[in-house]
Chains A and B, each alone.
Chain A
Amino acid sequence: MRNKKLAVLTVAALTLTLAAGCAKPPQQEIDGLKAGLTAAEQSEAAKYAPDAWNAAQQAQNDVNAELEAQNNKFALFRSYTKTKELVAAANQKAEEAKAAAVAGKEAASNAANEALAAAKASLDQATALMTELAACRRQPKDFKKDMEMMKGSFDGLAAGVAGIESAIASEDFFGAKAQADSLKASADTLVADMQGAKEKIKC
């Protein structure tokens, strides 16, 4: 009878041991995290939300480190509870990185389009001033050279608009903004020159 009890206890202990030894990494959650990170990367998080992307990657590293720590333990003592928490946190960071990337891309696109609009507005102002100057009754001889130079400068600036539009179309928003800012600065200088010329010839 005593032997029977011992046997039952042994079987129960073995069953428990095997059950405890069967603790597995949360593979489904880890796969979900990988998918989340891939989605964030495809949203160009590294380009448009570098801080959030780095945070997500750091979170993934934390998950890997915890997984490794658990894997290095004797099977009976492994626990993936903290791993699951870290995976959930990393998933959250991946989601945030994706959202930040989408927002960052939209912000970059808006900034590029706004910079282009501002540059076009300066060019429009230059066009209006050029029309006024051309229509001015008083056209001193020494003004003609200035006018031709201003027209040439305007042509050069106006030709740059196509390049900016093409950069925006190819989603090079940062490049487009840089070009548009440069163009606007030059167009503003041209407008100032035209206004100076207008005052000079009392138009």
Chain B
Amino acid sequence: METHEIENTWKNIDPAINLKSPEELNQLLASKTRQTVNKFLGLLAIDIVVGLGLISFLVITAINRLGDNFFLANNALLCLATLSALAVSVTSWYKLNNDKFNLPVRDWLEQKIKLLSGWLLGRYSKGYFIIIPVLLVMIEVSIHVYFENKPFTEVMKNEESVIGLIVGFIVALAVSYYAVGKIRKYQLKNLEFLKELFEGLGENGKV
């Protein structure tokens, strides 16, 4: 097929398009807006239920152990971490869903690459290697100490308790690292895809 034939053939596409009426377009827009809002509210609801559930547990158990300073400090730090995680997850979702699609393709790709690179390869991108084990230990200790019904220091001196905590910690850490690794791998693949497209739009035009 020669260039003019290609151009003429392409003209067959226009008449084949099923144009939608303004009412149909309005319905599609309304339904998509609803879906997006519901998705956001759903995520927010899960975040709040899980976050508030954990915070309630921490507060109630702390009230029952007002004299145990180590236990109280542990729960207070966990409360702070939970609140921070809540804030981070909501703002991340907002950032991800509010990028500017009306930019030129190259600029849009650049903006998306910067955002993802910051998360996946930035200075604090490996922070989860430290944050996850620290939080796991704190959560495990809080739950275990509370249900043992003994003071914090006494539980920590008990060999059986410590072995149980270590085993539980190793299992939970392995599961957490596996899950985070999977998510990171998927996101890194996304990042590579965007980078390839971006390079494809470079001035030297890698094809």
B is a partner of A: no
| Residues in B lying within 8 Å of A, measured CB to CB | none
| Residues in A lying within 8 Å of B, measured CB to CB | none
